[in-house]
Amino acid sequence: MNQFTDIDHKNLDPVRQQFAWEALAAHFDDRSPEDLTSSQRQFPHHTRPELQQTLSRLLTPFAPRLLGLNQVHERFPLTISSLFVQSTGPMSTTVSLAPVKYRNVDVGEETPVAVLDNGLWLITDGELRAAVLFEQHMEGMNTSIASVEIVSLPNARGLAFGSEVYAGLEQAIRESRLYRGKVLSLEVTEDYSGQPRSIVVHRLPAVERQDVILSPQTMELLDRNIFEFARTREGLKILRQSLQKGVLLYGPPGTGKTHTIKYLASNLPAHTTLLISANQVGQLDNYMLLARLLQPSMVVIEDVDLIGRHRTEMRSPKEESLLNRLLNEMDGLHQDAEILFALTTNRPEEIEEALAARPGRVDQAIEIPAPDADCRARLLRLYGSRMSIPTGVAALAVERTEGVGAAFIKELVRRLAQQSIARKAQGEVSMEDAENALQDMLVRSGYLSQALLGGAPAREKPQVRIVGDQCF
């Protein structure tokens, strides 16, 4: 017996339909689900904007009817089969119709993309009778999946329609125009805007070459190993050379490694940059999927020493697993993969030997040292570009700050500005301002404040031994 024969669904006013099974029964003329054909594709959650735009473009010419669905729990995926279910009682799994619900997804443009939470398109066009289900659900603890399922009459037109839609979706994912060439990271939480952030687009301020204060030798190394390498990839490909590269930026805290990364991201044409913090290496598989999809790309892992320490210092097999996964990804990519790895560390001596020395992992280590006298003078001019810093004051600051990092100079200039404003001089720096600021930062602050600002380390530091909750 056909489960839909007790109601004339075909002539039921769509406004009166309350459940998904009613809408499907009317659409398919009360055919049983067994008389239909269905196919499904699953996609990473971050591809929803591309999926949404492509589905709208492909389906709009058919003037479909779009229905929203009440998805009770995000861990229970919606399928065409589940939409056909009729049940009653407190444990009912019948899916009811609901208002179509959109969420704004930030893709790094002026306006976000409105993406359906879920939707069911009903399509009728001559011999074509089909339904397209777009939904998202959770798999495991933190993995979100987007899926598209197409059900149709089992005829040539229905099968061709499904093939055309899936081909369009796959092409859109390969092109990934919405995210290509941007600076991205993966997140699982929501920020204050209320927008879902499974993928975050970072709007980093542009960093020009003149804003990077490094020695000429260091800039030459960056040019040859990053920019020149990227420019010559086509020639390298012809000569059957590897198109991937690993670069390690190392040096004391506060010397400008992160600033240098921002400079690289701002000036690598057509590259997608993926920012991975040390605590996100567990998502390395997802990041590498993005890196391959959006290549040419640059994968940035800051503070790599946190996952690359000596095996004897590792606290659990999980830590070694993360390190091995990173090494395998760096060494196991196809040589045609246009992926740059840019790693940073404050403690190169703690990096696992395999990461630092084995061929195929890191091809070039570039030191970002504490700025010399010339670089400190240039940093003063850069950070104090809207201030008047007399030559004598600048000379004193350069002389007294040997061994400090760029972060220290930046804070010094801010204190000079603050003191000039307090004197009602508004950026006119005096020698007294410089003496007071340097005294506060180098003498009165102690070793800890200096270390926090990237200052020169103290000659002697107190020894602290921690046993349980007691410090000695």
Residue 236 included in any domain: yes
Task: Return d(Cα 362, Cα 301) in angstroms, integer.
Answer: 13
- Domain at 298, CATH number: 3.40.50.300
pLDDT confidence of residue 90: 66
Q: Do 347 and 234 have their domain in common?
A: yes
Residue 183 included in any domain: no
Judge contact between 271 and 181, C-beta under 8 A: yes
Residues 6+ apart with CB under 8 A from 305: 345, 346, 347, 348, 350, 351
Q: Is the peptide bond before 64 cis (omega within 30 degrees of 0)?
A: no
Q: Do 154 and 250 have their domain in common?
A: no
For 340-390, how does the pLDDT look when each residue is reduced to its tens digit (9 = 90+)? Answer: 999 999 888 877 676 666 666 788 999 999 999 999 999 999 999 999 999
Residue 203 included in any domain: no
Q: Do 436 and 334 have their domain in common?
A: no
Domain edge (last residue) among 149, 175, 201 = 175
Residue 219 included in any domain: yes
Q: Do 327 and 398 have their domain in common?
A: no
pLDDT range class, residue 464, cuts 50, 70, 90: very low
For 309-324, how does the pLDDT look when each residue is reduced to its tens digit (9 = 90+)? Answer: 555 555 555 555 566 6
Output the furthest CA–CA distance in the chain (Å, rounded): 97
Domain edge (last residue) among 367, 386, 419 = 367
Task: Return d(Cα 200, Cα 203) in angstroms, integer.
Answer: 10
Residue 421 included in any domain: yes
Mean pLDDT score of the chain: 84
Question: What single DSSP character describes residue 112?
Answer: P
Residue 161 included in any domain: yes
Q: Do 402 and 441 have their domain in common?
A: yes
Residue 14 included in any domain: yes
Residue 462 included in any domain: no
Residue 296 has pLDDT above 60, yes or no: yes
Domain edge (last residue) among 131, 156, 175 = 175
pLDDT confidence of residue 325: 73
pTM above 0.85, yes or no: no
Q: Do 152 and 277 have their domain in common?
A: no
What range defines the domain where residue 398 resides?
Answer: 373-452
For range 4-25, the mean pLDDT: 66
Q: Do 284 and 320 have their domain in common?
A: yes
Q: Do 225 and 135 have their domain in common?
A: no
